[in-house]
Structure 1
Amino acid sequence: MLIAIRVFALMLILLLGGLWAAAWMGRAPGEGVADAFLRRIGSFVGADMPAPSAGGVQLPQGMALGGPFTLVDQTGRTVTQADFAGRTLLVYFGFTYCPDVCPTELGTIAAAIDLMEEQGEQVTPVLVTIDPERDTPEALADYVTRFHPRMQGLTGTPEQVAAAARSFRVFYAKVERPEMNGYLMDHSSFIYLVGPDGLVRTLFRPESTPEAIAQSVRAHLRAS
């Protein structure tokens, strides 16, 4: 019995190793090895596991992100998802006091839109703050224009922001330490491609390149 278990374990290791090697060699442009590996497993067992689009992560079937929200834009006007109906968005949840990650990701969004040239006019970049205590409409108005002239900044009450974050499954939490002057916000750092219906089409991991994002957005615009 022990020998049989060892033989089975060895065969399983060899099988998974083979699938991993096939995933590494046969992954699509912009596709991560882990995503390609899952796709290979799905093909092997006969499951329908859609491959992620180039540059982005395809959402599992049956999983929906995004939806209705009520927030306040950088002009102080109350807006809902209806104000963005029919428009393609690149959405990021961050905050203006962020020292590194947020400026990097917002710069990536802006660069991706610029790379798309005329097609980029069809895409609206959006920053949703997770720090409404400090990120007033006035603060957002000054901040978002540093990245792109068409970027929208959204804030609101803590409850409104929390509701929007939940619909996108965004994690965030205030970080305070004795040695800190003020506080920072810990948060997840995905970029969301939102379709004209207000639902997320795909998402991009932190440090995705502008080229990969632009490629994926172009594909979605062609398909819509």
Structure 2
Amino acid sequence: MATKRINVIIAAALFVLGALVLVYAATQLAPQAGQSSAGSSVGGPFSLQDQTGATVTDESLRGQPFVVFFGFTHCPDICPTKLFELSEALNALGDDAEKISVLFVSVDPERDTPDILARYISSFNPRIRALTGSPEAIDGMVKAYRGYYRKVPTEGGDYTMDHTAVVYLMDSEGDFVAPLNMERPAEEVAADIQRQL
């Protein structure tokens, strides 16, 4: 009986110790707002086309911080809301908005052609570029950003898309800084972006 009690105490102590190690690791490794997580496993090479047909790559963005958001034009709520919030943050940046790129990457290349993206994105800040490409190119970028998307059939033979709703802030070297918390006033979001300029 005493041995069983000792084993339970040891197991509980090991559990607590393991939890403390995980908490410590999370606090030490997570990037803080305004700091780059150099060597982060989020982000990587990509080559897509914007709404004008111009090629956009990770290399073409070097030297300038950028923001990435994955979505699609048939998205009923999350995408237009995030794009509106990003537009407000760009407005709050004033002239500094010229020093950053904001990328809306479609996870629905089947429907989101450059022409459709051009019409859709025209409702938001003109600094936002909408990107599309082959399914393989989109899939590669989403995986590089540790994102997720999936086609979900709906009634009548149509479909919608489940997708990651993270807004990624990247520094001028293409390294992940932190997810942008859009649940704040535009001025606070703009301040996070401005720290990368």
TM range (shorter): 0.7 to 0.9
How far the C-alpha of 1:166 sits from its partner, in A, is 1.2
Question: Partners of 1:183 and 1:131 in 2: how far apart?
Answer: 10
Partner of residue 53, structure 1? 32
- The partner residue of 1:100 within 77, 81, 85 is 77
Partner of residue 145, structure 2? 168
How far the C-alpha of 1:57 sits from its partner, in A, is 9.7
- Maintained 8 Å contact 1:126/1:151: yes
How far the C-alpha of 1:112 sits from its partner, in A, is 1.3
Q: Does 1:118 align with 2:95?
A: yes
SS in 2 for 1:162: helix
Unaligned runs of 5+ residues in structure 1 are: 20-37
Deviations 1:71-97 (A, max 9, x none): 111112233222222121111010011
Question: Partners of 1:186 and 1:195 in 2: how far apart?
Answer: 27
Partner of residue 179, structure 2? 203
How far the C-alpha of 1:118 sits from its partner, in A, is 2.7
Partner of residue 130, structure 1? 107
The 4+ residue runs of structure 1 with deviation greater than 6 A are: none
SS in 2 for 1:108: helix
How many residue pairs end up in the alignment? 191
SS in 2 for 1:49: helix
Structure 1 94/219 Cα, relative in aligned 2: closer, same or farther at 3 Å?
Answer: same
Partner of residue 191, structure 2? 215
SS in 2 for 1:91: strand
- Maintained 8 Å contact 2:35/2:177: no
TM-score scaled to structure 2, two decimals? 0.80
More contact order relative to length (CA 8 Å, sep ≥ 6): 2
Partner of residue 79, structure 1? 56
How far the C-alpha of 1:174 sits from its partner, in A, is 0.3
Say what the alpha-carbon RMSD is for the aligned residues: 3.2
Deviations 1:3-54 (A, max 9, x none): 7757x969x98xx9xx9xxxxxxxxxxxxxxxxxx8xx42xx9x97056434
- The partner residue of 1:182 within 158, 163, 184 is 158
How far the C-alpha of 1:120 sits from its partner, in A, is 2.4
Q: Which amino acid in 2 is paired with 1:72?
A: Q
Structure 1 105/57 Cα, relative in aligned 2: closer, same or farther at 3 Å?
Answer: farther
How far the C-alpha of 1:117 sits from its partner, in A, is 2.0
Q: Alignment identity in percent?
A: 37
Question: Partners of 2:124 and 2:157 in 1: how far apart?
Answer: 26
TM-score scaled to structure 1, two decimals? 0.71
Structure 1 51/183 Cα, relative in aligned 2: closer, same or farther at 3 Å?
Answer: closer
- Maintained 8 Å contact 1:52/1:58: yes
Question: Partners of 1:132 and 1:184 in 2: how far apart?
Answer: 12
How far the C-alpha of 1:173 sits from its partner, in A, is 0.4
The correspondence of residues 12-91 of structure 1 with structure 2, limited to 5 A, is 41-42=23-24, 49-50=28-29, 52-54=31-33, 62-91=39-68
Structure 1 95/199 Cα, relative in aligned 2: closer, same or farther at 3 Å?
Answer: same
Q: Which amino acid in 2 is paired with 1:215?
A: A
Q: Which amino acid in 2 is paired with 1:194?
A: M
- Maintained 8 Å contact 2:172/2:196: no
